Amino acid sequence: MKHNTQYSLKEHNTFGIDVRCQRYFSVENEKALQNLLTDPAFTSLKESYPDFLVIGGASNILFTEDVNGIVLKISIEGVTIKEETDEYVIVRVGAGVEWHYFVEFAVAQDWGGIENLSCIPGSVGAAPIQNIGAYGVEVSRVIEAVDAYNIALNEFERFNKEECHFGYRESFFKMQGQCRYIITSVDFKLTKKHVLHLEYGAIKEELKNLNIENPTIAAVSRVVCAIRSSKLPQPKQIGNAGSFFKNPVVDSVLMERLRSKHPDVPHHVFGRDFKVPAGWLIEKAGWKGYREGDAGCHEKQALVLVNHGKATGKEILALSKKIQKDVFQKFGIQLASEVNIFLSNHQ
Ligand code: EPU
């Protein structure tokens, strides 16, 4: 059982929070995962600690304290073609593959469907958990199936798309399946005859600026990366986990009240309700660019909380709570965090 003890997770979370775990394991394939989780020495080690945490790229987690126990990193690599026609390709991708590496790989093969999801930090295995989305596309659109390891039963299970129960930044794995499954690979169905999604945000405008009239998926990918890097901080430079909050969904009564006070409030229809950008609410409440020690609200995108260097997870959490409280007082809207907050189970 090769592993590290008293291991710093600073390089293993995009917020760059300096916490430790007692034991750090990494597995590189499905067999190794099963062997480890069924090894009696591992089982008794696991039972001796209160915490057991599985991570991928750790790009959507805020560590507020040390992990009193085991961290297991899923490092399963590989991209394999399972089925190919003139219209589409189905590829199986290991959970440990870096998300943007996979996007670049797909774009280079001229496989379409994920170009709008370019430059998102994190791993392939984490993508279905919160159903990553950007620029009008959610990953659920291209997911065929998810393979996962059932921790209690010690066996592999396959989930088709319906069984994943995808929603806005939601899935079975974030709800009932939380802590019960470890995603090992994801099957994607990608196009060879592409349908581009250019309606959202600045994509069209940016393509026009570059004089691109008939964009390829490679051009869309480039433009998305350019838009993202113009307003989202790079985790290697400033620690962050992307959007800290979800965009709230409000009913028509609240929407009307909001619109009467703030006619400029951006929003879009979401079923019978409306989705309002949390970034707008936070900016309007005056938090954009705010800093308290090394914990801050990003100056270009208020939805992103940042670690300017040595902030602790507790400091960032405290700032997020102040923002939530203030937004609620000013607009009557409760913001829910999109990032997972790690709290130790202690002993
Ligand atoms: N806005 C402000 N102030 C801000 C930020 C945004 O007024 O500080 C306004 C913008 O002017 C715009 C609206 O809010 O009218 C929407 O902004 P943007 O297009 O930047 O998108 P978002 O709603 O803030 C969502 C996702 C992002 C994704 C972008 C682009 C969520 C929680 N966030 O952000 O996802 O990249 O759309 O599609 O849905 C992530 O999940 O980590 C993430 C970055």
DSSP string, 295-328: EEE-SS-TTEEEE-SS--HHHHHHHHHHHHHHHH
pLDDT in tens, 9-27: 999 999 999 999 999 999 9
Please report the domains of the chain, with CATH numbers, ordered by start residue: 4-74 (3.30.43.10), 79-191 (3.30.465.10), 239-342 (3.90.78.10)
Q: Which atom of ligand 1 is nearest to the CA of 247?
A: 32
Using CB distances shorter than 6 Å, the residues near ligand 1 are 134-135, 201, 242-243, 246-247, 266, 277, 279-280, 283, 288, 301-303, 338
Spatial contact of 161 and 145, defined as CB atoms under 8 Å apart: yes
**Residue 83 known to be catalytic:** no
Res. 151: pLDDT tops 70: yes
Which atom of ligand 1 lies at the shortest distance from residue 232's CA? 44
* Cα 294 to Cα 184: distance, rounded to the nearest angstrom: 35
pLDDT tens-place string over residues 76-120: 999 999 999 999 999 999 999 999 999 999 999 999 999 999 999
Q: What is the mean pLDDT of residues 192-216?
A: 92
Distance CA 100, CA 107 (A): 10
158 is catalytic: no
Closest CA to ligand 1's atom 1: 280
Which atom of ligand 1 approaches the CA of 288 most closely?
8
Residue 7 half-sphere exposure toward CB, CA atoms < 13 A: 18
- Condensed to tens digits (0 to 9), the pLDDT of residues 38-81 reads 999 999 999 999 999 999 989 999 999 999 999 999 999 999 99
Whole-number Å distance, alpha carbon 28 to ligand 1 midpoint, is 35
Q: What is the reported pLDDT for 252?
A: 96
Q: pLDDT at position 347, please?
A: 63
pLDDT at 1: 85
What is the C-alpha separation between 148 and 95, in angstroms, rounded?
A: 10
What is the pLDDT at residue 202? 87
Active site (annotated) includes residue 338: yes
